[in-house]
Amino acid sequence: MTDCLRLVVEGRDRVGMTMDVSKVLYENHLNIISMEVYSGLIYVKLLWGSSYIWDELAQALKKVSGVDRVSQTEFLPSEKREQQIKAVLDSISEGIIAIDRNGCVTLINPAAERILEYPVAAVLGKPIQDVLSPDVPVLHTLATGRGRDNEEIMIKTYRGRHHHIITSRPIENERGEVTGAVAVLKDMSQVRDLVYSITRPSMVTFADITAESQVMKNVVDLAKMVAKSQSTVILRGESGTGKELFAKAIHMASPRRHKPFVPVNCAALPDSLLESELFGYEEGAFTGAHKGGKQGLFEFAHRGTLFLDEIGELSPHLQVKFLRVLQDGQVRRIGGKEEFSVDVRIITATNRNLEDMLQKGNFREDLYYRLNVIPLFLPPLRERKEDISVLVESFIGNMNSRLGLSIRGVSREAMKTMMDYPWPGNVRELANVIERGMTLGAGTDILNLPQLLITSRETHGFRPSAGDVSHAEDSWKLSAVPRPLADQIADTEVRALRQALAVHKSSRLVGKALGVSHTTVLKKLRKYGLGKPES
């Protein structure tokens, strides 16, 4: 039986030591596989058969002048380093590819095998341009000696094209000459997951949705069923009914819950900016484009959920591009030639009457039917009054923790008023009223009606008379005629003064809080009959 023996010879560093050791091994008819020489140390790997006797070899080597000690070792230093490097390369998730000065692959780790979908034997020794692409950045690094960072690349395999990020660095010898290069490949989906783990918005589940009314329970039950599918969902309802809340809950109950949830408000961005955000752009696509280009939100949401709020505000131009993504699952960046495959679940929301927009030609019929696969209608708060008390309790509990308060609830009068109020702003308005009340009522146990300042003037157009301004907060009279701008400004001033007076007792402090002089405060108080505080 033939095996390998690894030995280390320790002794004085002198000229001819290596030759003398080699002579002893030759005289014992031992075949040297490899040898490493360092100052005072000689490592040797030998072919070792059962007929050889270790003690006799060790005694022969010790007779060499300057040898102090002879022992066996498990690995030669180079073998140990190689194993450590291999363990590192095998354990990392990024693909590593090394090339020589001719651009041929000399090393590839398991992660790169998975990325390229080729075995090592099919890649080693081949030109890198045949494995990746003709314009791969690592060839530029090999030619110039300059590294390249985080560049996008499309890799073609027998299973199709794949999107990756590549970084390359030169390999230099002791004279500073470039002898090769190494490339690091990252799967774009891993990059997206890393970015999402840092930028992820706060998420909610169906357990966080308060529903005591039967109408709301029915919507929640339907949404839970819908969440398990891959179908497109459109959320319909008035502003403030919780459409984004439902979108997040649907995502968290879906098989895509571990992938990105990307919300976009279509009404918040100009048409050109929204297009670049959704579809991305290539470098130089337009003035001000970032160097290297930018991926769009369709790409970022790959294998996750894209929530498009206010979908009714989408321009006709973007409606056409959006329809193509829904039909083909392909996205082309602005100024780009390549198309990227995206696997995205679409959830949209609107408070507009899309059917009326169809009749007027403001919304594409084909897009409407693509989006209207599963419609969910969220009822306004006035149609589910049973939920108001539990919503109030929930909001107070959450805000107690956030604001460091200990308010226990609201008075009976305040609750009755809230039950009678039509809530044009729905749940969002209710949350704002509770937060306002807790801010003004800090230090109390129970919130009363004056602290809540419930009003619908800004939404319903109510204008109090001069003699009735003290009762303006409790009046919800609906005006059918648009009010003059001066009247609306006056309403805003009254509300701001009332809120400031509830906190500050002097005109100087009120003026400081509102950013005006105390004399201006006194004039406004006299104008609206709000009384006179301390100077």
CB neighbourhood size of 503 (10 A): 12
What pLDDT, on the 0 to 100 scale, is given for residue 158? 57
Q: Are residues 163 and 208 in the same domain?
A: no
Of residues 258, 129, 113, the one with CA closest to residue 187? 113
Dist CA 240 CA 351 (whole Å): 9
What pLDDT, on the 0 to 100 scale, is given for residue 25? 93
Q: Outline where 280-315 has alpha helix (H).
A: 297-300
Q: Which residues of 300-311 are buried (b: 16+ CB within 10 A; e: fewer)?
A: bbbbbbbbbbbb
Burial of 475 (0-12, 13-18, 19+ CB in 10 A): middle
Burial of 245 (0-12, 13-18, 19+ CB in 10 A): middle
Burial of 518 (0-12, 13-18, 19+ CB in 10 A): middle
Q: Are residues 184 and 232 in the same domain?
A: no
Do 442 and 254 contact (CB within 8 A), yes or no? no
**Residue 395 backbone dihedrals phi, psi, to 5 degrees:** -65, -40
Does any domain span residue 535?
A: no
Contacts for 274 with CB less than 8 Å, ≥ 6 apart: 264, 266, 318
Residue-wise DSSP of 506-535: BHHHHHHHHTS-HHHHHHHHHHHT----B-
Q: Are residues 206 and 139 in the same domain?
A: no
Q: Are residues 172 and 277 in the same domain?
A: no
Does any domain span residue 104?
A: yes
The pTM assigned to this predicted structure is 0.61
What CATH code is carried by the domain that includes residue 265?
3.40.50.300
Number of domains in the chain: 4
Do 201 and 227 contact (CB within 8 A), yes or no? no
C-alpha to C-alpha distances, 258 to 207, 301, 308, 372, 376, nearest whole angstrom: 18, 11, 19, 25, 24
What pLDDT, on the 0 to 100 scale, is given for residue 26? 92
Q: Are residues 252 and 351 in the same domain?
A: yes
The single residue listed with the structure tokens 């690894």 is 6
What pLDDT, on the 0 to 100 scale, is given for residue 222? 94
Q: Are residues 17 and 121 in the same domain?
A: no
What pLDDT, on the 0 to 100 scale, is given for residue 337? 79
Does any domain span residue 87?
A: no
What pLDDT, on the 0 to 100 scale, is given for residue 161? 64
Does any domain span residue 332?
A: yes
Does any domain span residue 176?
A: yes
Do 302 and 192 contact (CB within 8 A), yes or no? yes
Q: Are residues 189 and 215 in the same domain?
A: no
475's tokens: 């009046």
Of residues 343, 307, 315, the one with CA closest to residue 328? 343
Last residue of a domain, one of 17, 51, 76: 76
Distance of CA 476 to the CA centre of its chain: 43
53's tokens: 């006797």
What pLDDT, on the 0 to 100 scale, is given for residue 452? 85
368's tokens: 């409407």
Query: Sign (positive/negative) of CA torsion 501, 506, 512, 517?
Result: positive
Does any domain span residue 383?
A: no
What pLDDT, on the 0 to 100 scale, is given for residue 90? 86
Q: Are residues 43 and 138 in the same domain?
A: no
What CATH code is carried by the domain that includes residue 61?
3.30.70.260
Number of alpha carbons in the 13 Å side-chain half-sphere of residue 125: 3
Last residue of a domain, one of 361, 377, 393: 377
- Three-state DSSP class for 156? strand
Q: Are residues 162 and 257 in the same domain?
A: no
Q: Are residues 223 and 330 in the same domain?
A: yes
- pLDDT under 70: residue ranges of the chain: 1-2, 156-162, 192-201, 284-292, 455-485, 487, 532-535
In angstroms, the first-to-last Cα distance of the chain is: 106
Does any domain span residue 357?
A: yes
Does any domain span residue 165?
A: yes
Do 169 and 147 contact (CB within 8 A), yes or no? yes
Q: Are residues 291 and 366 in the same domain?
A: yes
Q: Are residues 209 and 189 in the same domain?
A: no
What pLDDT, on the 0 to 100 scale, is given for residue 374? 94
Helix (H) or strand (E) holding 34: strand 32-38
Last residue of a domain, one of 357, 377, 397: 377
Task: Supply the range of the domain harboring residue 479.
Answer: 410-528
